[in-house]
Amino acid sequence: MTLLGLLEGGPSHGYELKRSYDTKFSPDRPLPFGQVYATLSRLQRDGFVVVEGLEAGSGPDRKTYAVTEAGRAALDEWLAEPEPPEPHLQAVLFTKVVLALLSERSAARFLDLQRAAHLDRMRSLTELRREGDLIDSLLADHALFHLEADLRWIDLTESRLDALAAEVSG
Amino acid sequence: MTLLGLLEGGPSHGYELKRSYDTKFSPDRPLPFGQVYATLSRLQRDGFVVVEGLEAGSGPDRKTYAVTEAGRAALDEWLAEPEPPEPHLQAVLFTKVVLALLSERSAARFLDLQRAAHLDRMRSLTELRREGDLIDSLLADHALFHLEADLRWIDLTESRLDALAAEVSG
DNA sequence: ACAGCCATGTAACTTGTTACATGATTTT
DNA sequence: AAAATCATGTAACAAGTTACATGGCTGT
């Protein structure tokens, strides 16, 4: 869907889309080329894009894609809909805590280690947020807020470990 | 890994593991049987579990699995390691906002809708938290904290939409 | 007789991940 | 001459999702 969105700004080809995606949305983790071309094939298969033509650029030919009406409609729908807010109640942190309690391992130690890892990550994100551009800093803030949420949950859970142990084993 | 963890409490078979998993970890969304048996096959393939025997229970035969030493070691490692704290800077909410800005759609309207959806979900989670047992309420709290994190980010982003628009288009 | 639960699995499909293959152009 | 960049793709593998197939036992 994100590739479709980028394509809406004007016809383009895989290589350029990947570049655009990386700088605009994922400065951290570049999108693998394999996935780009695979996704474009699927978008084409589903009628959301069409191949507009082959252009000779600098190097190999470029296969330019353009969004269709169906593609624009799909994008419209996707962008208008809010994301499902945490639909499934499930969390890996919770799972590890419960499994630790069930097996005589120390859940408290795990929570402490997790808190330390989170705090460490928060420090580096805070730096990125100061030094980066607005995109970096908004993404960093997003991650920071969620790490803080985890920290709150870790504290809460730690304070209720005894009750949890009782409920889980019982 | 969670199935492996449940199995550590004592040999068991697929059906029972699924039941146990559903009540202990995912009261919301039951684990499909297909995935249970597929996962058990993989655990066996990887040498983490072995088939201990066939028992005739009430109904069809039960294929009981037991954790091996290698399985216990893998579990140990997994439980001891903290989860990678938000490793990739990326977020669907952010993506939608940027795409909206790039395409003359209203990012502010999207953020408002998203906030409304989040608030709605938070209301039902708050109820669950009051009425459910400790497991339900810890899972609800986890989700609630993360929804709050999103709300904070939504407010922040909304207040910087103009600057974002400038940076993204430029 | 029939519904529902116990219990196991396969098959088809979709997506993501990683690695590999190819070859031209531009820069050093 | 070598390295980086431009540009496209395939192949192998792994995992999740849904649906289907099978059949015995239990309760009404």
pLDDT at residue number A124 = 94
Protein contacts of strand D with Cβ less than 7 Å away: A 13-16, 33-34, 37-38, 40-41, 57-63; B 32-35, 38-39, 42, 58-60
**Best to test chain A binding among B6, B8, B75, B96 (most A CBs inside 10 Å):** B96
- pLDDT tens per residue, range B11-22: 999 999 999 999
Residue B90 has pLDDT above 90, yes or no: no
Residues in chain B: 170
pLDDT at residue number A58 = 63
Which helix (H) or strand (E) segment is B11 a member of?
A: none
Report residue B58's pLDDT band, with 50, 70 and 90 as the boundaries.
low
- Cβ A140 vs Cβ A162: under 8 Å: no
- pLDDT tens per residue, range A37-48: 999 999 999 999
The answer to whether A148 contacts chain B (CB < 8 Å) is yes
Which residues of chain A are modeled with pLDDT < 50? none
> Which pTM value belongs to this model?
0.93
Residues ≥6 apart with Cβ < 8 Å to B35: none
How far, in Å, CA of B169 to CA of B81, rounded?
A: 41
Q: What is the dihedral of CA A99, A104, A108, A109, to 10 degrees?
A: -100
The answer to whether B54 contacts chain A (CB < 8 Å) is no
Q: Which one has a higher pLDDT value, B54 or B75?
A: B75
pLDDT at residue number B57 = 62
- Cβ B135 vs Cβ B27: under 8 Å: yes
Please list every residue in chain A whose beta carbon sits closer than 8 Å to the beta carbon of residue B168.
24, 135
Residue B109: both structure tokens together: 């309207």
pLDDT at residue number A70 = 95
**Best to test chain A binding among B93, B95, B113, B125 (most A CBs inside 10 Å):** B95
**What average pLDDT score do residues B113-142 get?**
94
